[in-house]
Structure 1
């Protein structure tokens, strides 16, 4: 039986991704769950997608959709430009795709289309980029955008008393639905952490690779953690996301 490994937000840091996978020492039996935001940040955004397309041919992978992936997909498919996207890393993806052929871009569009909004494994663990809002579960969510934009799930977990138990009457209903939840989207560097952080039953695996942090992965069973170098050190001539 292989490992199940969740990987945080990559944001175009291909060098960090390769370094991280080498540390993990992937085997054919492992399942890799990528938590989204493959693009927008460092200069290798498009190259990350190319790498993952090939990587998935030899490995068991689940690709969760992130908000930056959705925005890049929209631009690739219909030239839709979002000003906020351009301000927060979108320009790096536009620049990265300048040298790509139309056939390569078609393959990338297909990759984006095949992403899933969330994944629930056999042990009732949820993997989602950002969160969900419906108290009856993600399958009852009204709008897909919540899966890759909503921060309230993580904000709620941060606000809870650290001693509260799931059987407490005040324990949030959303958190009772799953044994564990693995997310990205909101860098833990915002709370001065540099490794994946657990609050309540939520593990946040985004360790700020888009900025000054590292790219991280976690074995969802053993909780072993692997990290790359700080990604900005691998791209010394770049600034990353603003």
Structure 2
């Protein structure tokens, strides 16, 4: 009922160019199993109805908190080699890149879920030991991350625009044109974005702020359903003016959330 109420407020005039279908995938946070399920879901949908152009957009926060950051990045790299994909930068990827340049950032990264990423790259130690041996741990992590992964992280984009939709990790600052947004806001903002009812110029599709189900407002859609905590990863499908929600869950059951 709540989802239907929000959906009735969505601007249905928004649409993609003719023949284009976009699949947008919410925050992964190391949930490689749910990502594999999302791939199955997308592939099955494409097999039923193949558009002229299909673009798969991933909204960032691929690492931290969840159990398998390394495998998640492997899957994304492989997907990008075989499909048209867009990989948006999340704040967690920015933190990791910053850490590789500046070990002093390690305590903040650990507080935000970095321990699971360390372990996924084979670095097993306690959080206390990490903080005591910060530079040593940072050097070990840099050596453990494959060059393909650092290249992937370095080439993430801050945002992606198509038709009447603007895809980003966190959101946008109200009152600032979309082409003038700061990368910090695109990766980190919550307020005043989340409570704003103003027109952003396009419908903003984002993650970053977990919700138990997709949030739909007149000019924004949040598809971060807290995969690492809920076991539910949301996939948004858009074609023409049609918007659909699907989910990859650990039960492998496909659900239609609309």
Paired position in structure 1 for 2:207: 184
Structure 1 runs (4+) greater than 3 angstroms displaced: 26-29, 76-80, 99-104
Match status 1:90 vs 2:111: no
Query: 2:161 aligns to what?
Result: 120
Q: Indicate which of 138, 145, 148 corresponds to 2:178.
A: 138
How far is 1:147 from its partner?
0.8
Match of residue 197, structure 1, among 215, 222, 246: 215
Q: CA deviation at 1:41?
A: 1.6
Tell me which residue corresponds to 2:249: 229
Q: How far apart in 1 are the matches of 2:84 and 2:144?
A: 25
Offset of 1:73 from its aligned partner? Answer: 2.1
TM-score, normalisation: structure 1: 0.77
Structure 1 contact 154–202 (Cα < 8 Å) conserved? no
Q: Which residue is equivalent to 2:169?
A: 129
| Superposition RMSD in Å | 2.4
Hey, what's the Cα distance between the residues in 1 that align with 2:208 and 2:114? 15
Find the structure with the greater CA-based Rg. 2
Cα displacement string for residues 77-122 of structure 1 (whole angstroms, at most 9, x for unaligned residues): 554534232122111111112278948522111111111111111x
Partner of 1:16 in structure 2? Answer: 34
Does the 8 Å contact 2:175/2:200 carry over to 1? no
- TM-score normalised according to structure 2 size: 0.73
Deviation at residue 213 of structure 1 after TM alignment:
4.4
After superposition, give the CA deviation of every residue in 1:148-202 in whole Å (9 maximum; x if it has no partner).
1001254224xx5xxxxxxxxxxx2xx2411x1100000113xxxx2x2211210
Question: Match of 2:138?
Answer: none
**1:9 positional shift:** 0.2
Name the residue aligned to 2:133: none
Structure 2 unmatched ranges of 5 or more: 1-18, 124-140, 253-258
Q: Pick one of 37, 40, 49 that aligns with 2:64.
A: 40
Once the two structures are overlaid, the 10-residue window that deviates more, 48-57 or 207-216, is 207-216
Cα shift at 1:210: 2.4
- Residue 172 of structure 2 contacts residue 193 of structure 2 at CA under 8 Å; is this kept in 1? no
- TM-superposed deviation, 1:34: 0.5
Number of corresponding residues: 209
